[in-house]
Structure 1
Amino acid sequence: MTLSIAPGDLADPRVLRLLDDHLADMFATSPAESVHALDVSGLQSPGMTFWALSEGDAMLGCVALKELDPAHGELKSMRTDAAARGRGLGRMLLEHVIAEAERRGYRRLSLETGVEDFFAPARTLYARYGFAECGPFAAYRPDPNSVFMTRELAPRAA
């Protein structure tokens, strides 16, 4: 079957399961005050775009892009189903968001993730794609449980 990334339906029970699993893992690995993961209402906020990764009827992942300003986006809610890990789905989702951010003309894409070992594979993936650690951005504040990363993007073609 073919993998596809398309706008996600935040009322789809398969998407809701992914998001519930995501939030459960975040609260299980980080102190509550350091969990910056979004629930459905947060993903429905203005400036937010949400996609789902599927293979046939199986929902395998999701990701969101938040516009911070016309030149800066934030990666949010990137999740792959635990049973589907190791297939390169995180790379697909990340490449999709980077391409969309560049298409929109963003000059920078940033993210917040955790310091715990649970997040090490994600931090490694982000670093492979050119993200480097940075200070807090947007409304974030320094947090010993957070790692902030950013990547400069190629200027939009004229």
Structure 2
Amino acid sequence: MISIIEASTDNDFNQARELFIEYSKSLGISLEFQNFDEELKNIPGMYGVLGGCLLLALDNEQTIGCVALRKIDDNICEMKRLYVLPDWNLQGIGKMLAKSIIEEAKIRGYRFMRLDTLPAMKRAISLYHSLGFYRIEPYRFNPIEGALYLELDLTSFSGSLPLP
């Protein structure tokens, strides 16, 4: 059975770090423009405090996916690092994680959630659009040609969590 938990222990953050590394490898590009090495060193500081959040998907005790929330300002947050291990793809876990982090953003009082993604990530883009994300102008630097910037109005989101 799949469960979603908020990362809170050193072990949770270490599991997330491993997933972040797998995510980075799956992209086939360097994330150094996002200071990825520093992010890996400071996951609890970036996502565990100050309006952030890090969720893990578990299949029994095995960590199989993650998603993070980072504060941009008091009204706007950013979804980061949505990733599910390949063996668990196409089972609705990415959607479950995305909806869970959206709910966490609403609980924390954010009005908008943003993200950036790569044009090659067709399934992710389709998921984001199905959740109500829409295109916006760039809000941060991304050197990847064709990078997409999306936003969700959290005040209008009312999705219920699916079972995988």
In structure 2, distance between residues paired with 1:84 and 1:67: 28
TM-score where L is the length of structure 2: 0.78
Deviations 1:112-153, CA, capped at 9 Å, x for gaps: 11112xx0000000000000111112x436752411100111
2:54 paired residue number: 50
Task: Give the corresponding residue for 1:147.
Answer: 148
**CA positional deviation for 1:35:** 5.9
SS at match of 2:80: strand
- CA distance in 2 between partners of 1:142 and 1:19 (Å): 20
Amino acid at match of 2:2: L
CA contact (8 A) 2:118 2:148 kept: yes
CA contact (8 A) 2:33 2:142 kept: no
User: What is the match of residue 19 of structure 2?
Assistant: 18
> Does the aligned pair in 1 maintain the 2:114–2:150 contact within 8 Å?
yes
TM-aligned CA distance change 1:122 to 1:34, over 3 Å: farther
> 2:17–2:43: 8 Å Cα contact kept in structure 1?
no
- Whole-Å Cα distance in 2 between the matches of residues 34 and 121 of structure 1? 24
3-state DSSP class of the match of 2:155?
Answer: coil
Residue 37 (structure 1) shift: 8.2
The match for 2:99 is 95
Letter of the 2:26 partner, please give it.
Answer: D
Letter in structure 2 aligned against 1:50: L
Structure 2 stretches lacking a partner, 5+ long? 157-164
Q: Cα RMSD over matched residues? A: 2.4
Gaps of 5+ in 1: none
CA contact (8 A) 1:133 1:148 kept: yes
SS at match of 2:79: strand
The number of residues matched between the two structures is: 148
Correspondence list, 1:4-153, <5 A: 4-8=3-7, 9=9, 11-12=11-12, 14-26=15-27, 28=28, 30=29, 32=30, 36=34, 38=36, 39-44=39-44, 45=46, 47=50, 48-116=52-120, 119-137=121-139, 139-140=140-141, 143-153=144-154
Distance between the aligned counterparts of 1:15 and 1:113, measured in 2?
19
Distance 2:123 2:11 in 1: 29
Q: Secondary structure of 1:135's match?
A: coil
Cα distance in structure 2, aligned partners of 1:33 and 1:55:
28
